[in-house]
Amino acid sequence: MDFADKVVLITGGTGSFGKECARQLLNHHNPRKLIIFSRDELKQFVMASEEFPLSRHPNLRYFIGDVRDKDRLRMALQGVDIVIHTAALKQVPAAEYNPSEYIKTNIFGSQNLIEAALESSVSKILALSTDKACAPINLYGATKLCADKLFIAANSYAGEAGCRFSIVRYGNVVGSRGSVIPLFLEMRETGTVTITHEEMTRFFISIRNAVKFTLECLDRMQGGEIFIPKIPSAKIIDLARAIAPECEVKIVGIRPGEKLHEMLIGPDDARYTWENGDYYTIEPTFTYWSRPPRVTGRRLSYGDVFASNVNNRWLTEEEIQKMVEECSR
């Protein structure tokens, strides 16, 4: 996609994904303007003074705001062409204890963004989702599923030439805030690594590849799709042993809201899912808007799943060590 004449806004732009997204956009795509929208003034100050100084990036802007505040979103979206929506509350156990806060940000915040975008000149919004939104059992996953549904339905209200809304869904992002590898690196210093269950599996994607895939999907999107990259799985205990081979591994039990395994495509999703090379696309179940029919790819069958415990691609020990090196930099 050519960003040269585009104004791009990243919600939650001071987070791990937002910063890497800004890095790739500024270094490789040179948008006309890039706006970092977030509620944390300190993180914006650090980004502006240390990582992305305005002296090197005159097309970069910092905008303090919260997705819970629709009026502030309206102001931020003036003149914006593309939005990458990353703002969310994400910690699973915290969501179980603070459900109303997650609902306000992840659901109401998404609705605020949709309504503000429909009143503006925004042409595309690509929202980040999570494997926990597929058949959710925790509050965080349920809020992200609701947000996914809101973004898909928003296409119906945008009109023939209005804003288009799509979603990217993937698993654990290596090196992001709260991810397991940096946690294991800290634990390694104590001589003991704790894991919740010896059979637990998760999907993993590097933050660089997560951003790259997201930017590619901005080109692919027609509105209403959920894009899913084909990413590898790993057993959490294998990660622990690869990162801290000399440490004792202690099993502490599954935390509130956790699954043993995660899914990116469930058996009912499969009826609407198409496989294209290194990614899947879940098509919308309804299209009350003008949208060309899909003509490429292999359609999955009911009952097909893409789950972390039945994946045909698993991280090797060499790949795990490479991820550890990236997180240690």
- 272-294: b (≥16 Cβ within 10 Å) or e: bbbbeeebbbbbbeebebeeeee
How many whole angstroms from its chain centre is CA 19?
A: 13
For the residues of 274-302, what is the DSSP string, one character each? EEETTEEEE--S---S--PPP-SSEE--T
Residue 244, beta-bridge partner list:
none
Element (H, E) at 82: strand 82-85
| Count of helix runs (H) and strand runs (E) in the chain | 11, 17
Q: Give me the torsion for CA of 231, 236, 242, 246, rounded to 10°.
A: 170
Catalytic residue, from 6, 132, 230, 259: name it. Answer: 132
Q: How far is CA 73 from CA 14, 38, 47, 177, 245, in A?
A: 16, 11, 21, 25, 48
> Which is nearest to 98 in space by CA: 287, 314, 272, 257?
257
Rounded CA separation 203/84 (Å) = 22
Q: What share of the chain is helix, strand, coil (3-state, %, to 5)?
A: 40, 20, 40
Residue recorded with tokens 């994904």:
17
CB atoms within 10 A of CB 232: 16
Rounded CA separation 191/246 (Å) = 7
Helix 317-328 / helix 236-243 crossing angle, nearest 10 deg: 60
> Which is nearest to 277 in space by CA: 224, 207, 223, 228?
228
132 belongs to the catalytic site? yes
Q: Are 165 and 177 in contact (CB under 8 A)?
A: no
* Active site amino acids: 132
